[in-house]
Structure 1
Amino acid sequence: MTRLIPSVLCAALLSLSAAAQPPSDLPKKPADKDSPGPFRIAPAIWPVFRGDATMTGVGTAKLPDQLEERWTFKTGDAIEGSPIIAGEVVYVASLDKHLYAIELATGKQKWKVKLGAMKASPGMKGNRIYVGNLEGVFHCVNAADGKLLWKFEADGEITAAANFHGENIIFGSHDSNLYCLNPEGKKVWATPVDGPINSTAAVVGDRTFATGCENGVLHVIDAKTGKELGNIDLGGSTVTTAAVVGDWVYASMVSNQVVGADLKGLKKVWSFEAPKRQQPFQSSPAVTTGLVIAGSRDKKVYALDAKTGEQKWNFVTEGQVDASPVIVGDRVYVGCLSDDGNFYVLDLKTGKKIQELQLFSPVVGSVAVGPDSILVGTDKGLLYCLGKK
Structure 2
Amino acid sequence: MSGSNLRAEGLDRSSLLGNWSGILAFGDQQAEVFYEIDEEEGKLVSWLTLEKGGLYAMGPSVVERDEAGVWKLDWFGRVYSVDGNGQLIGAFQHYDKALELVLEKVDTVPPKPKEKWAVDEPRVDWVVEVAGGVWAAPAAGQGLVLVGDDSGMVTAMHDDTGNVAWRFRTGAGIYASPKLDEDFLYASSDDGYVYCLAVGDGVERWRTRLGGGFMERSARLPRVDDGAYDYRSSSPVIVEGTLFVGGAKGGVWALDTETGEVLWEFVTEGRVSGDVAVAGDVLVFGCRDGRVYAIDRNSGSERWRHEVGAEVVSTPAVHDGLAIVGSRNASLLALDVETGQPRWESLTWTSWVESSGVVSGERMFIGSSDVAKLCARKLDTGEIGWERFLGGSLWAKPAVAGRRVYAGVTGSVGYFAPHVGAFACVDAESGELVWRMEFEPTEEAFLYGCPGGGVTEGERVYFGTLDGRVFAVKR
Q: Note if 1:385 corresponds to 2:466.
A: no
Within 1, Cα distance between the matches of 2:174 and 2:340? 34
Q: What RMSD in Å do the two structures reach over aligned CA positions?
A: 2.0
Contact 2:190 2:248 in 1 (8 A): no
Mapped contact 2:421–2:449 kept (Cα < 8 A):
yes
- In the other structure, the counterpart of 1:46 is none
The aligned runs of 1:215-230 (5 Å cut-off) are: 215=290, 217-230=291-304
Residues 59-84 of structure 1: CA deviation (Å, up to 9, x unaligned) = xxxxxx98410101111211111111
Matches within 5 A, 1:279-290: 279-290=351-362
Q: TM-score, normalised by structure 1?
A: 0.78
**Higher RCO, Cα 8 Å, sep 6+:** 1
Which is further off, 367-376 or 287-296?
A: 287-296
| Contact 1:233/1:267, CA 8 A, preserved across alignment | no
Question: Residue in 2 aligned with 1:306?
Answer: 379
Name the amino acid aligned to 2:471.
Y
> Which moves more between the two structures, 296-305 or 77-86?
296-305
Contact 1:209/1:221 (<8 A) preserved: yes
Q: Which residue of 2 aligns with 1:249?
A: 323
**Separation in 1, partners of 2:399, 2:438:** 18
More strand as a share of residues: 2
Deviations 1:254-300 (Å, cap 9, x if unpaired)? 1111122222343111111123xx12111111222222222111222
C-alpha separation in 2, matches of 1:218 and 1:386: 36
- State the partner residue of 1:133: 189
Note if contact 2:284-2:323 (Cα within 8 Å) is conserved in structure 1: no
Mapped pair 1:100 → 2:155: yes
Q: Give 1:107's aligned amino acid.
A: G
Map 1:1-389 → 2, pairs under 5 A: 67-116=122-171, 117-154=173-210, 155-156=212-213, 157=215, 159-182=233-256, 183-215=258-290, 217-234=291-308, 236-275=310-349, 278-298=350-370, 299-338=372-411, 341-360=421-440, 361-387=448-474
More deviation, 306-315/188-197:
306-315
Q: Aligned equivalents of 1:250 and 1:195: distance in 2?
A: 20
1:166 CA displacement: 1.0
User: Which SS does the other structure have where 1:79 is aligned?
Assistant: coil
CA distance in 2, matches of 1:174, 1:257: 25
| Deviation (angstroms), 1:194 | 3.6
How many residue pairs are counted as aligned between the two chains?
Answer: 321
Work out the CA distance in 2 between the residues paired with 1:112 and 1:220: 36
Shift of 1:224: 1.3
Structure 2 unaligned residues grouped into runs of 5+? 1-119, 216-231, 413-419, 441-447
TM-score, with length taken from structure 2: 0.64
- Kept in 2, the 8 Å contact 1:193–1:219? The answer is no
Q: Which amino acid aligns with 1:146?
A: G
Cα distance in structure 1, aligned partners of 2:376 and 2:242:
34
The structure with the larger Rg is 2
Is the 8 Å Cα contact of residues 208 and 223 (structure 1) preserved in structure 2? Answer: yes
Mapped partners of 2:269, 2:388: distance in 1:
34
CA distance in 2 between counterparts of 1:194 and 1:293 reads: 30
Distance 1:165 1:355 in 2: 35
Note the C-alpha offset of 1:302. Answer: 2.3
Distance 1:77 1:345 in 2: 25
The alpha carbon displacement at 1:246 in A equals 2.7
CA apart distance, 1:167: 0.8
The answer on whether the counterparts of 1:252 and 1:294 sit within 8 Å (CA) in structure 2 is no
Give the share of equivalent positions with the same residue, in percent: 21
* Kept in 2: contact 1:75–1:96 (CA 8 A): no
* Paired residues of 1:234 and 1:268 also in contact (CA < 8 A): no
The CA deviation string for residues 209-259 of structure 1, in whole angstroms up to 9 with x for no partner, is 2221122x2222111111112334445431011111231111111111112
Letter matched to residue 347 of structure 2: E
Instruction: Describe the SS at the equivalent of 1:338.
Output: strand
In structure 1, C-alpha distance between the alignment counterparts of 2:136 and 2:298, rounded to whole Å? 27
- Quickly say closer, same or farther: Cα 1:194–1:349, change in 2 above 3 A: farther
SS in 1 for 2:411: coil
**SS of 2:449 mapped into structure 1:** coil
